[in-house]
Structure 1
Amino acid sequence: MTEQRPIAVLGGGSFGTAVANLLAENGHQVRLWMRDPEQAEAIRVNRENPRYLKGIKILPGVMPVTDLLATLETCDLCFVALPSSALRSVLAPHAERLSGKMLVSLTKGIEAHTFKLMSEILEEIAPQARIGVLSGPNLAREIAEHALTATVVASEDENLCQQVQAALHGRTFRVYASADRFGVELGGALKNVYAIIAGMAVALGMGENTKSMLITRALAEMTRFAVNQG
């Protein structure tokens, strides 16, 4: 019987930590990569990520690591939870090691100077990799506390979607599949901007008409972005 290979989560922030725990709950061995050796050691010793997810116990199946090269050599399925501003600089030096890997972006954002989505950056760095995105109305702490949550994995690669669903799908975390990678990714990135606008409207005491107008126009703009991206 072939031994199951571990799964990588690249990025030790709140969302990366929550996803790593979900994978471990489902019986997977997880390599949680982070750049900070002190943070990795704190998680290893205390089984908690006090900087980003205080009070949540990290399961034994999650191994915090700092050697990115070794992690990429060991894992075929990699969830990328790096900050949007750091994704390119962290992964570009290891482009050759990413070839053939399943790279699933958990990062919501658009690169400032190129206006590229995270999955487009992954494609540029590793054109031979299999690319997907995971996005939804997902707060890391609620996921970690087992609040009922749904998310979407999106990729043109149907097998990748199935493997991500099998890895993450659980009692309180439901994973749905879509082939509309750009639509899912744009929705995840743009809704943060629109949420700020809506929050400002509430803080300024604007009426329901104004708030409804802002949300309606935001949805229309989001649709135009998605159509433009195909």
Structure 2
Amino acid sequence: MKCTIIGAGSWGTALGQVLSENGHETRLFSLSQADADRINQKHENFEYLPGVQLHEKLSCSTNLAQTLAGAEIIVLAVPSKGLTSCLRELKPYYTGQPIVLASKGWNASDFSPLSSLITEKLGAVPIIVLSGASHAEEVVKHQPTKVVLASSNKERREKIKNLFHNKRFKCEESEDIVGVQLMGAFKNIIALACGISDGLKYGTNTKALILTEGIQEISKIGSSLKIKPETRKSSAGIGDLYVTCSSVLSRNRNAGRLLAEGHSKAEITGGLINMVAESLYLTEAIAKFLATTNEAFPLLDMIIKIVEYNTPAQKAFDLFLESS
């Protein structure tokens, strides 16, 4: 099958590697000609996955029309902040193929799942959400990984599962398209808090406290969106939460550590981390959400104080401990 992946960062490239190794003709779309040339000529993504030999049939282009020509599925693997512009560029070439949403984030403009943004820009298109505990750096090394494919359409889920699934990259199915996206977005916020704890030199007891409170607060939001309880227990739920909060590869955890060390949101998003920390693009929307609810969200409130209002991390953390 011919597959197109829009986004040639670490995650898009890792998914391209999985599809190519499974025997599918796969093309990446990149905004960087230099990155595309290196992938095509050297079979390596030096910028995001240095040292990893990519499949010889995985190609990359900066020409979107060329990349999409003949595509039978389209995978979106761009940072959430770039999804609107991505969909705008995609629309003239889109011909109704299934769209696999591999971006993790939340629509900050109206506090809704990213799938709703796709529907808004492209209409009622077939969407399958791919999410779960899956660092790209480990996927390309064939370390056993499980993700979740979410869609209300069973036939569609099975079709996409057949593309990605292999003995090292397992895929489980879910009907909970909103719940899977919620967990994929908000685990980044909890990881940010764990990183703040790291920066304040706290240990595993404190991380356990953060995780416990974080799960409770996600569950509150999830209840209002009617997400399924089993989603929280899946690879897209507790699995992804564990990976993102514990791994040294976690860019959101690293962003939290930098915040605790005194760096601002602007500094971190401006280049202190080479890759996108999705949590920092969600905090403004969370601040607006907190202003509209009477429910208590002590952990989210702490994060907003630090990220959006530049409250010293220790002061905000102490206030969190008093209220949680």
The two structures have a TM-score, normalised by structure 2, of: 0.66
Alpha-carbon spacing, 1:202–1:98, altered in 2? closer, same or farther (3 Å): same
Alpha-carbon spacing, 1:167–1:18, altered in 2? closer, same or farther (3 Å): same
Q: Does 1:31 align with 2:27?
A: yes
Over residues 86-132 of structure 1, what are the superposed CA-to-partner deviations in whole Å (9 max), with x where a residue is unaligned? 11112224325335221111111123333232212111111231011
Moved more, 148-157 or 87-96: 87-96
Q: 1:129 aligns with which of 125, 131, 142?
A: 125
Does the 8 A contact of 1:7 with 1:76 survive in 2?
yes
* 1:49 match: 45
Gaps of 5+ in 2: 227-324
Task: Output the CA distance in 2 between the equivalents of 1:99 and 1:40.
Answer: 25
Structure 1 vs Structure 2 CA RMSD: 1.7
* 2:61 match: 65
Task: Output the CA distance in 2 between the equivalents of 1:167 and 1:187.
Answer: 24
Over residues 41-99 of structure 1, what are the superposed CA-to-partner deviations in whole Å (9 max), with x where a residue is unaligned? 11111110000000111112211122212333421211100111111112224325335
Task: Output the CA distance in 1 between the equivalents of 2:166 and 2:206.
Answer: 40
Q: 2:188 aligns with which of 188, 192, 197?
A: 192
**Corresponding residue SS for 2:60:** strand
Alpha-carbon spacing, 1:207–1:87, altered in 2? closer, same or farther (3 Å): closer
Alpha-carbon spacing, 1:46–1:216, altered in 2? closer, same or farther (3 Å): same
The two structures have a TM-score, normalised by structure 1, of: 0.91
* 2:271 match: none
| Equivalenced residues, count | 226
Q: Which has the higher strand share?
A: 1
Does the 8 A contact of 1:17 with 1:32 survive in 2?
yes
Does the 8 A contact of 1:77 with 1:102 survive in 2?
yes
- Greater Cα radius of gyration, structure 1 or 2: 2
Identity %: 31
Task: Output the CA distance in 1 between the equivalents of 2:43 and 2:112.
Answer: 36
Describe how 1:43-192 pairs up with structure 2 within 5 A: 43-192=39-188
* 2:221 match: 225
Shift in Å, 1:34? 1.0
Does the 8 A contact of 2:106 with 2:181 survive in 1?
no
Q: 2:13 aligns with which of 17, 20, 40?
A: 17
Moved more, 61-70 or 165-174: 61-70
Gaps of 5+ in 1: none
Shift in Å, 1:191? 0.5
**Corresponding residue SS for 2:190:** helix
Task: Output the CA distance in 2 between the equivalents of 1:144 and 1:218.
Answer: 30
